[in-house]
Structure 1
Amino acid sequence: MHIHPKITPIYQTSVFKFEDLTELELYFGEPGSRYLYSRNGNPNSDELADKVNELEGGAGAIATGSGMAAILAALLACCQTGDHVLCAADIYGGSSSLLNQELSRLGITVSYVPFELLYDLAPFVQSTTRLLLCETLSNPLLRVADLRRLADVCHGLGLKLVVDNTFASPILTRPLALGADLVLHSVTKYLSGHSDVTAGAVVAADAAVAARLKQIGVLFGLTLSPMESWLAVRGLKTLRLRMREHSHNALAIAECLQRQPAVRAVYYPGLPDHPQHELAREQGAGQFSGMLSILLADDVDVVNRFIRACRRFPFAPSLAGVDSSLSYPLGTSHRSLTPEQQQELGITVGLVRLSVGVEPVEDLLADLEQALKGL
């Protein structure tokens, strides 16, 4: 009986069988011809990696157990002990914690570059500098990096450009097509899209770097499990539709929130008064993602009342699911920064980040309006 499933089955197995020693030698002699052990590769994790690689237009990719594992793999693919990296100051707090607390312990040092100096990297470069890490849309203030310009600057200085594309997704922006060398995702967020998977992915523009990523994934044990991979692949199938709805809803909400007296500022690149609005429009193919941040009064009581009043935006320290949520950067994603760093980045007591889902937008607007009414 021939079985031809339309959907790849879940290969929920840790090992694969061989007929004899000849077949074992074929595994090592013909890489990719068969499977041995799921840490080395599994049809489901390979399918996810291949699909993300296709979306980003890369030369190869790996799927990892989390977004943090993806960041680690990308950095280790380019760096070794004694090397130095540059990192945009506007970055996910987990990225800076990894660099500060763990990679520094391994002899990889870091310097942070303020957003306004991103295109003037020469003063920050050392003889051992290998790369710049940045985000397409920064977390949490949604600043937009000009990736083509940044790639030219990096390559002119002999550096690789590594881009975290989580907030944008390849539906909006494809960093490799703009000159980046590696692009990474927390697949947990938009790529999977349903808040039921923890996963990551890294894509390389160069085949040799992609092979290095594969080696790192295997030897560090970063490979994603079959079940999580299968769920993420299923999520990818609606990514294009979801991003359109996320972006549509977020723009309507951002415009509405600008008119609310209790909201002191709205950070969303889809608004015409956003400093990088035109860049975001061009680089994001006319869409601006579903992430935005708002500034309320710098008063814990005000923020708490807003959080408690929201019904459609539960307080959850993650983002990008089909269901809306809100988070609090000062107390979660950027908690490990010093008070001085938080202040410099504009991450204050009143800053709240909204992850706008795909629910009917009128329901989301009504919920936010009633939550803001009593502030």
Structure 2
Amino acid sequence: MDLTPIHPKVTPIYQTSVFKFASLAELETYYTTPDHGGMYGYSRSEHPNSDELVAEVAKLEGATGGGVATGAGLAGLLAAVLATCQAGDHVLCPAELYGGSVVLLSQELARLGIETSYVPLAELYDVARHRRPNTKLVLAEVLSNPLLVVLDGPRLAQACQREGILLLIDSSFTSPMLTRPLDWGADLVWHSATKYLAGHSDVTAGVVVARDPALGKRLRQVATNLGLMLAPLDSWLAVRGLRTLRLRMRQHSENALAVAQFLVASPAVAQVFYPGLPSHPGHELAAAQLLNGLYGGMLSVRLADDTAAAVDTFIQKTRLFPLAPSLAGVQSSCSYPAATSHRGLTLAQRQALGITPGVLRLSVGIEEPAELLADLQQALQ
């Protein structure tokens, strides 16, 4: 069937594992020309839906080097590390890093000969002191998970540039609506697209984009060779989610600020971690660095009764913040870091990071804020 005259407004889902070639000459063109001459061969390597997703994220991030979409957020981190490091190299990270990233780096990649060390974020800016001769990459988050410590991105980028070390920024908590790390001087930006980019809790995906085209090409090679490429349907769903990202991030942020202000006044809450609050130690930095006057939809609290039992009572009473291990969907949820994102850390490691038994992370959705506050009121009584 000839589809030439058909011009869909929305890119179709190319639910195919392979694409056809008309001749050996066309096949040779595919393998020997840049960007395969605009053709596609095998969806493990590339397909129109993942290309569209990467192009849209790259446009939002100002990334001229392209990148790759992967089957999960951590697969994106894997691609980024393997595109920049090899056995014998070293990665430098803040101690406040997401637990899943720590497990991947310190357990799986360590077995491949890639070392990782961790220092408190406040000390990470002194890259010259903490680097090793084999340090190739620094990884940091815009806002730490779960206590929302604010990164001074430009300062860290300048420190990495002075040392000739690549900088990878995890922007999963903020999205390009709040931060554009390449503008700071970062080399790569990584998103768990499962979170805000796709935004509807129906996709598991990662996206990494680069400043340098050579690095972007290497990301694609790693994803192809390891089979990390995101599937067509999931790519299509993530692109669909991107269409409303700007609107969603505004509502997430407005709702989260209202929730944070409500929780500060609650006697059941000892501490609220949200950079939009003037009481947050990183508020001034966040106000100067985050875009559009938004602070995101993520916050955490430490209950006055700092016990797992108090958290469990809240979980069983809430109706609009169901317990879930992920975040950033249009519907609100809560998570218990000690048993989910930071489960792989020891008790001593969690305590050192301030993740006590009564810490609860809230992902604030885009529901009517009055309904969220009423639910929190009854759940915390």
Matched, 1:27 2:42: no
Secondary structure of the residue aligned to 1:130 is strand
Tell me the TM-score normalised to structure 1 length: 0.98
Question: 2:342 is matched with which residue: 334, 343, 347?
Answer: 334
AA in 2 matched with 1:201: V
TM-score, length basis structure 2: 0.97
Q: Does 1:128 align with 2:109?
A: no
Q: 1:14-163, aligned counterparts within 5 Å?
A: 14-32=17-35, 33-58=38-63, 59-163=65-169
- Alignment-derived partner of residue 365 in structure 2: 357
Q: Is the 8 A contact 1:183 1:202 kept in 2?
A: yes
How far apart in 2 are the matches of 1:158 and 1:332?
Answer: 35
Contact residue 90 and residue 115 of structure 1 kept, 8 A: yes
Offset from partner CA, 1:129-178 (integer Å, 9 cap, x none): 11110100110000110110100011112211110000000000000011
Structure 2 Cα separation of the partners of residues 107 and 55 of structure 1: 34
- Aligned mate of 2:311, from 303, 306, 320: 303
Q: Tell me if structure 2 keeps the 8 A contact 1:262–1:372.
A: yes
Q: Is the 8 A contact 2:124 2:130 kept in 1?
A: no
Alpha-carbon distance in structure 2 between the residues aligned to 1:141 and 1:223: 31
Equivalent positions of 1:236-255 (< 5 A) are 236-255=242-261
Per-residue CA deviations over 1:1-37 (Å, capped at 9, x if unaligned) read 6100000000000000111101101111223320000
Q: Distance in 2 between matches of 1:282 and 1:116?
A: 18
- Structure 2 distance, partners of 1:293, 1:186, is 19
User: What one-letter code is carried by the residue in structure 1 that aligns with 2:26?
Assistant: E
Aligned partner (choices 237, 240, 243) of residue 234 of structure 1: 240
How far 1:121 moved relative to its partner? 2.4
| Coordinate RMSD, CA, aligned | 0.8
Count of aligned pairs between the two proteins:
373
Q: Which runs of 5+ in 1 are unaligned?
A: none
2:285 to 279, 284, 287: 279
* Aligned-residue offset at 1:125: 1.1
Mapped to 2, the partners of 1:29 and 1:127 lie a distance apart of 38
In the TM superposition, what is the alpha-carbon distance from 1:338 to its structure 2 partner? 1.2
Q: Using the TM superposition, name which of 154-163 and 113-122 deviates more.
A: 113-122
Gaps in structure 2 of 5+ consecutive residues: none
* Kept in 1: contact 2:93–2:124 (CA 8 A): no
Instruction: Give 1:197's match in structure 2, choosing from 172, 194, 203.
Output: 203
Give me the whole-angstrom Cα distance separating, in 1, the residues matched to 2:366 and 2:342. 26
Q: Which amino acid aligns with 1:209?
A: L
Distance in 1, Cα, partners of 2:244 & 2:281: 31
Matched residue type, 2:22: E
Q: Residue 52 of structure 1 contacts residue 61 of structure 1 at CA under 8 Å; is this kept in 2?
A: no
Question: How much identity, in percent, do the aligned residues show?
Answer: 60
Greater shift, 194-203 or 272-281, is seen at 272-281
- Corresponding residue SS for 1:52: helix
1:215-226 superposed matches below 5 A: 215-226=221-232
Runs of 4+ in structure 1 deviating by more than 6 angstroms, as ranges, are none
* One-letter identity of the residue aligned with 2:53: L
| Cα drift, residue 351 of structure 1 | 0.3
Alignment pair present for 1:372 and 2:380: yes
* Structure 2 counterpart of 1:36, one-letter code: G
Indicate the SS of the match to 1:365: helix
Aligned to 2:326: 318
Query: Once the 2 structures are TM-superposed, how far is the Cα of residue 299 of structure 1 from its aligned partner?
Result: 1.5
Distance in 2 separating the partners of 1:121 and 1:263: 37
For 1:149, what is the secondary structure of its paired residue?
helix
SS in 1 for 2:208: strand
